[in-house]
């Protein structure tokens, strides 16, 4: 079940990545089309000037994609093959300036816009002007495609494509550019990732089967022990599982990368500092040694680094932490990830804003030899359901397993607090 669940998550992430890549391809193609339209607009202006300079009276003249027709000769233009661009007064006579659809499509057909997509251009009245299918020229657009990123069956390719629409601000002002991205090309690119995800899912299933088998053997041995030893062992196992969950937190991973993406290009110095702090946090979280305890100094550094990452994300909604700990106790021991976990819980379960920022205090109480972590008490609605109490249960199990007295938590004077007894070094 675990392997199957993770496999489903991986495929869901791949689908989202696939959609994002498709949108990127569509945006890139749209930019290429706009760039080419700018170049075409310059060519049209140049061609129009040449036509005006050499225009004989009463004649229809072609040059490049343009045709100039006197207003009195409007019936000489085939509406299926010409699109009105604008009307101008030239040499005291009124002329209509037209664009040849055939030449316009031939112009774009000779250009390279990438192998992943094709595009169509519609006028402000919804008439197709440019399309790889000549039968669409001069016809109204399909009004069924109104959703951005809609997956449809392409009449042109006879395959599924994702259609994205963009406004056309150049030449055909008020028109529309539709970019259709072929799904098949993207699926080929992620096929290797999908294969590895399947292998990962199968591997996890095998590991789950092996764990179930060894768990059955362990239960047979545990049945021979006293009830107290059985309960203690179960609590310790639960503690280690919670610790593993705390070490690998995908939600935190996505948030940190999102904040880093926002900083890059806007504040490079802060982005460099952000990467350094993020590296420190993950190095601590992913330690593979067997120690359940860590020095107060290490835990404090981890909590500071984690809080820095969150300050980048939340800004002034988080006040700087107030820390009051003497240097002579920095070598004492705390449960691994204890401070970072409490800081994370305070941010996750507290209703914070710039008007009501979060205040976190970490102080040493010498008379009891404990570290007291507290924050202003303004809980979010539904916190008990969402948090599930993993962090505090982990700390309860740790101190109970090592029979260390003094652990406590609760609320007093409008603040939530947690007392962490120190293990002497």
CA distance 352 to 378: 8
CA distance 300 to 368: 19
- Domain range summary for the chain, segments of one domain joined by +: 2-185, 227-421
Q: What Cα–Cα distance (Å) separates residue 46 from each residue in 54, 65, 100, 237, 407? A: 13, 11, 16, 79, 83
CA distance 64 to 106: 11
Q: What topology does CATH give the domain 2-185?
A: Beta-Lactamase (3.30.450)
- Could you tell me which residues are beta bridge partners of residue 166? 177
CA distance 334 to 294: 6
CA distance 18 to 72: 55
Q: What Cα–Cα distance (Å) separates residue 321 from each residue in 211, 270, 355, 361, 416? A: 42, 19, 17, 6, 15
Half-sphere exposure of 210 (CA within 13 A, CB side): 7
Contact between 60 and 100 under an 8 Å Cβ cutoff? The reply is no
Q: Exposure pattern of 81-94 as b/e (b: 16+ CB <10 Å)?
A: ebbebeeeeeeeee
Round the CA-based radius of gyration of the chain to a whole number and report it. 34
CA distance 396 to 164: 54
CA distance 265 to 275: 14
Which regions of the chain are under pLDDT 50?
58, 237, 241, 248, 383-387
Q: Exposure pattern of 304-331 as b/e (b: 16+ CB <10 Å)?
A: bbbbbbbbbebeebbeebeeeeeeebbe
CA distance 22 to 260: 23
User: DSSP secondary-structure letter at 415?
Assistant: E
| CA 359 remoteness from chain centre | 29
Q: Are strands 150-153 and 160-168 parallel, antiparallel or unpaired?
A: antiparallel
Contact between 311 and 405 under an 8 Å Cβ cutoff? The reply is no
pLDDT of residue 10: 64
Span 162-188, pLDDT tens digits? 888 888 888 888 888 888 887 765 555
- By residue count, the chain amounts to 425
Q: What Cα–Cα distance (Å) separates residue 161 from each residue in 139, 151, 180, 365? A: 21, 6, 6, 65
Q: What topology does CATH give the domain 227-421?
A: Heat Shock Protein 90 (3.30.565)
Contact between 300 and 362 under an 8 Å Cβ cutoff? The reply is yes
Q: Exposure pattern of 142-155 as b/e (b: 16+ CB <10 Å)?
A: beeeeeeeeeeebe
Contact between 180 and 119 under an 8 Å Cβ cutoff? The reply is yes
* Tokens found for residue 384: 């008990």
């Amino acid at each position: 079940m675990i392997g199957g669940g993770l496999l489903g998550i991986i495929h869901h992430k791949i689908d989202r990545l696939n959609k994002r890549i498709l949108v990127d391809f569509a945006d890139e193609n749209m930019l290429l089309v706009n760039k080419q339209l700018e170049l075409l607009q310059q060519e049209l202006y140049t061609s129009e000037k040449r036509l005006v300079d050499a225009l004989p009276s009463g004649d229809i003249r072609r040059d490049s994609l343009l045709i100039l027709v006197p207003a009195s000769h409007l019936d000489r233009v085939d509406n299926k093959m010409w699109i009105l661009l604008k009307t101008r007064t030239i040499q005291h006579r009124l002329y209509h300036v037209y664009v040849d659809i055939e030449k316009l499509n031939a112009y774009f057909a000779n250009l390279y816009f990438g192998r992943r997509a094709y595009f169509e251009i519609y006028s402000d009245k919804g008439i197709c002007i440019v399309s790889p299918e000549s039968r669409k020229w001069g016809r109204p657009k399909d009004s069924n495609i109104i959703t951005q990123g809609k997956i449809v069956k392409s009449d042109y390719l006879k395959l599924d494509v994702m259609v994205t629409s963009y406004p056309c601000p150049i030449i055909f002002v008020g028109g529309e550019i539709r970019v259709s991205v072929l799904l098949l090309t993207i699926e080929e690119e992620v096929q290797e990732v999908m294969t590895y995800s399947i292998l990962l899912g199968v591997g996890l299933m095998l590991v789950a089967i092996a764990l179930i088998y060894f768990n059955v053997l362990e239960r047979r041995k545990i049945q021979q022990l006293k009830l107290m030893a059985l309960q203690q062992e179960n609590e310790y196992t639960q503690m280690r599982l919670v610790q593993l969950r705390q070490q690998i937190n995908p939600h935190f991973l996505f948030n940190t990368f999102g904040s880093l993406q926002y900083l890059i290009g806007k504040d490079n110095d802060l982005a460099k500092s952000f990467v350094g702090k993020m590296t420190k946090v993950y190095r601590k979280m992913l330690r593979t040694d067997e120690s359940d305890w860590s020095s107060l100094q290490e835990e404090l550094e981890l909590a500071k680094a984690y809080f820095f990452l969150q300050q980048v994300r939340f800004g002034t909604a988080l006040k700087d932490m107030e820390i009051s700990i003497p240097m002579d106790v920095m070598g004492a021991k705390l449960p691994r990830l204890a401070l970072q976990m409490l800081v994370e819980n305070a941010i996750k379960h507290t209703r914070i804003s710039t008007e009501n920022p979060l205040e976190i205090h970490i102080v040493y109480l010498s008379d009891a030899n404990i570290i007291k972590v507290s924050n202003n008490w303004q809980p979010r609605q539904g916190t008990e359901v969402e948090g599930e109490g993993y962090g505090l249960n982990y700390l309860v199990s740790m101190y109970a397993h090592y029979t260390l007295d003094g652990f406590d938590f609760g609320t007093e004077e409008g603040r939530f607090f947690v007392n962490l007894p120190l293990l002497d070094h």
